[in-house]
Amino acid sequence: MLVQLKVNGKAVAADVPPNTLLVQVLREHLKLTGTHVGCDTAQCGACTVIKDGRAVKSCNLLAAQADGSEVTTIEGLAARDGTLHPMQAAFKECHGLQCGFCTTGMVMSAVDLCTHHPKASATEIRELLEGNLCRCTGYQNIVKAVQQGQAAMAGQ
């Protein structure tokens, strides 16, 4: 089946079997490998992207279900000139990562969180990031990064 999407602002199409997952289209067909596959069961959040303005786990969504949607991946967050998105910059500045495997999904979830909950407290940030797992950090720097990114996004 032909799946048509707008990914990172660009119209794309992929001819895929009906059981193809969105994460497979992104990684294998479009070569956007910043979206990671961690658990294949939508538990870890490494595959999180923004679809039609909301964070979704792309390992748990058929490409057909996303047909006609607008999808933003980690590769689409930075400005065209390479300037990092405020949340990416905050994760870098606050050292909100260690190995980096969860980071792309964590950043995408944090962008969604701050878009829909712009005044979330540290406690609320922890609760709202519950679907994203990090095996390396104690989450302290992730929460700091989200708070800093939240302030920067509010100031845009």
28: tokens are 């294998």
Structural domain of residue 134, as residue ranges?
86-154
Domain count along the chain = 2
Q: What letter represents residue 111's amino acid? A: V
Residue 67 has pLDDT above 90, yes or no: yes
Residue 103 has pLDDT above 80, yes or no: yes
Is 14:32 a contact under the CB 8 Å cutoff?
no
Residues 68 and 126 in one domain: no
Task: For CA atoms 101, 102, 108, 110, give the dihedral sign.
Answer: negative
Task: Report the half-sphere exposure of 58 (CA within 13 A, side-chain side).
Answer: 36
pLDDT in tens, 18-38: 999 999 999 999 999 999 998
CATH code of the domain containing 55: 3.10.20.30
pLDDT in tens, 109-144: 999 999 999 999 999 999 999 988 888 877 899 999
Cα separation, 36 vs 26, in Å, equals 10
Cα separation, 1 vs 16, in Å, equals 5
Of 130, 113, 124, 116, residue with least CA distance to 44: 130
Mean pLDDT of all residues belonging to the chain = 94
Residues 68 and 91 in one domain: no
pLDDT of residue 108: 97
Residue 48 has pLDDT above 80, yes or no: yes
Cα distances from 137 to residues 28, 98, 99, 122, 134, in angstroms, run 29, 7, 9, 16, 6
Residues 117 and 146 in one domain: yes
Q: Where residue 75 falls among pLDDT bands split at 50, 70, 90?
A: very high
Residue 156 has pLDDT above 80, yes or no: no
Whether residue 94 is contained in a domain is answered as: yes
CATH code of the domain containing 102: 1.10.150.120
Whether residue 80 is contained in a domain is answered as: no
Residue 72 has pLDDT above 80, yes or no: yes
Residues 7 and 70 in one domain: yes
Whether residue 81 is contained in a domain is answered as: no
